[in-house]
Amino acid sequence: MAKIGVIGAGSWGIALATLLHRNDHQITVWSIVEAEIEMLQKEHEHKDKLPGVKLPEDMVFTTDLEAAVDGKDILVLAVPSPYTRSTSKSMAPYIKEGQIIVNVAKGIEEATLMTLSEIIEEEIPQADVAVLSGPSHAEEVGRGIPTTIVVGSKKKKTAEYLQNVFMNEVFRVYISPDVLGIELGAALKNVVALAAGIADGLGYGDNTKAALITRGITEIARLGTAMGGRIETFSGLTGIGDLIVTCASMHSRNRRAGILIGQGYTMDEAMAEVKMVVEGVYSTKAAIGLAKKYNVQIPIIEQVNQVLFEGKAASEAVKDLMLRDKKIENPLIPWEE
């Protein structure tokens, strides 16, 4: 049995806390929001973020960060990506040398273009940082629906340990050393999911969705490999797998926000309606910055950026994508002369 602190009591943090408790681990859940912790202590259910998933009586809920961190074998960092740095900074004084932190949020920091694990390593250099990602909606993991994900770590020993901690008959865990590729796939697919939702909001169909998924993973892999990620990662669970589920499901807050934008909502109005952090909005500008830095073309993400931040009409963005210069689908495949 491991002692595990889950830092963040949103839908994903609560779903993973439930999963880990089922695996017979001792769980403490932290949130900075006092009302949220009071609700969890009283109701043993997150009625706002994960209704219907009952939490066990022996799960501990606290607003005391030191209590949630101290003496834990593993910390699951599940705060929304915009709060990764500030939360890591607050955690740092309580982290022991070699203490494992598993980041489960998805995003890229706009100001620095750093991945979330890079932020955690910068703020908490004494920690052993890993990531967990893949096609995994909290609503389904919390209900025990079969799910498969990937744990990434630079240390094989850490990855194998976490594989044993998280894995059970409904939660299959693979491991990988490609932490960068995993995080880039996780962050950038949210931007493409916004595009897929916008297309849905405009009334487009399956053909459009398939095109966005297929060309979207091409953009993600193009940028990801230019930065040092492995092409195999982008064809796996944390690449195309996560992209498919995020573009296709109404559980996806990014797709839901995109649908509203396609229907005419502003970005701020869509985020307010979804009532959860829409990670893709925060990753879009960072993706544009990375594409410029590495001199990579990402036309779908560029159009999403223009719709979100430059007032471009969604229908115009689709037209501009369709009328781009003619291309070869895969220039690496040679022609027979």
Both tokens assigned to 267: 């970005």
pLDDT digits (tens, 9 = 90+) for 297-335: 999 999 999 999 999 999 999 889 988 888 899 888 999
Residue 124 in any domain: the answer is yes
Residue 336 in any domain: the answer is no
| pLDDT for position 298 | 96
The residues that are catalytic are 189
- Read off the pLDDT band of 208 (50, 70, 90): very high
Residue 34 in any domain: the answer is yes
Judge whether 25 and 165 are in contact, CB under 8 Å: yes
Residue 328 in any domain: the answer is no
State the CATH number of the domain containing residue 299. Answer: 1.10.1040.10
Higher-pLDDT residue of 207 and 337 is 207
pTM, to two decimals: 0.93
CA 186 – CA 209 distance, rounded (Å): 19
Domain limit, last residue, from 132, 154, 177: 177
Residue 337: pLDDT over 80: no
Residue 198 in any domain: the answer is yes
Q: Give the strands of the sheet with 74-77, arranged side by side.
A: 60-62, 26-30, 3-7, 74-77, 100-103, 128-133, 147-152, 171-176
Domain limit, last residue, from 177, 206, 238: 177
Q: Which domain does 28 fall in, by range?
A: 3-177
Tell me: do 206 and 292 sit in the same domain. yes
Residue 334 in any domain: the answer is no
Residue 54 in any domain: the answer is yes
How many domains does one find in the chain?
Answer: 2
Tell me: do 188 and 253 sit in the same domain. yes
Tell the burial category of 92 from Cβ atoms under 10 Å away from its Cβ (0-12, 13-18, 19+).
middle
Domain limit, last residue, from 142, 177, 212: 177
Tell me: do 215 and 171 sit in the same domain. no
CA 264 – CA 3 distance, rounded (Å): 47
Tell me: do 142 and 220 sit in the same domain. no
